Amino acid sequence: MASHRLDLDAIIDLIPAKARVLDLGCGDGLLLALLAQRRQVLARGVELNEANVRACIARGLSVRQGNIEEGLADYTDQAFDYVILSETLAYLDRPLPVVQEMLRVGKRAVISFDNAGYWAERWRALRGRGAGYDLCSGEPRARAITLAQFIEFVTCAGAHVEQRIFIGRRGRVRYWPTLFARIAVYVITRL
């Protein structure tokens, strides 16, 4: 799936001013920089790629190079108001312990992902083109996650959904998100 970052605006809308925020897999730091600018958050990031980490530092961010698991383990319980996992859930080998750790270091977890139940994805699958990622894309292996699967997963993680935003082709989606949401953004918190 294309890496459109429509979820960024939605995430920014969800985060209150001056919150303490940790972004896992923060890339070149675009989201954190926007959050720092528009929401004056206290921003921290974790990123694996050295060039991305340097790009974050160039934006004036404080980032720790490393994988998500070791990055989370650095922090004490409830050190953050929000821990963000944006467009990364599908690529995790073991999503459950990661999300549990997110809810240990943060009061809330913000998770965005591409909805594998989006009508165009279903249509692709029906035509025999397979669900999920394209073999030719060069993208790493990714899971196909539907909204229903995610809700089940949240329960497994001992959490519940506090807020959600669905994004379709032309902005926010109100009806039938399971079919019309291209991207889903959930705020979850411990039960």
Per CB under 8 A, residues contacting other proteins are 20, 42, 44, 50, 53-54, 57-58, 60-66, 70, 73-76, 79-80
Considering the complex, state which of residue 54 and residue 190 has its C-beta at the smaller distance from other proteins: 54
DSSP strand pairing (20-24 vs 80-86): parallel
Shortest distance, CB of residue 70 to other proteins, whole angstroms?
A: 7
In the complex, the smallest distance separating the C-beta of residue 58 from other proteins, rounded to whole angstroms, is 5
Nearer to other proteins, 80 or 113 (CB): 80
What is d(CA 177, CA 63) in angstroms, rounded to the nearest whole number? 34
Q: Minimum distance between the CB of residue 69 and other proteins, rounded to whole angstroms?
A: 12
Residue 31: in which H helix or E strand, if any?
Answer: helix 30-39
Secondary structure (DSSP) of 104-167: HHEEEEEEEEEBTTSHHHHHHHHTTS-SS--GGG-PPP---B-HHHHHHHHHHTTEEEEEEEEE
Q: How far apart are CA 138 and CA 176, in angstroms?
A: 31
Minimum CB separation of residue 66 from other proteins in Å reads: 7
Which burial class, exposed, middle or buried, applies to 186 when counting CB atoms under 10 A from its CB (0-12, 13-18, 19+)? buried
Give burial (CB, 10 Å; 0-12/13-18/19+) of 29: buried
Q: Cα 139 from chain centroid?
A: 17
For other proteins, the closer of residues 101 and 114 by Cβ is 101
Q: How far apart are CA 84 and CA 176, in angstroms?
A: 25
Kindly state the smallest distance separating residue 82's Cβ from other proteins, in Å.
12
- Rank residues 26 and 165 by Cβ distance to other proteins and give the closer one: 26
- In the complex, the smallest distance separating the C-beta of residue 24 from other proteins, rounded to whole angstroms, is 14
Our CB check for other proteins shows the closer of 109 and 154 to be 109
Nearer to other proteins, 66 or 179 (CB): 66
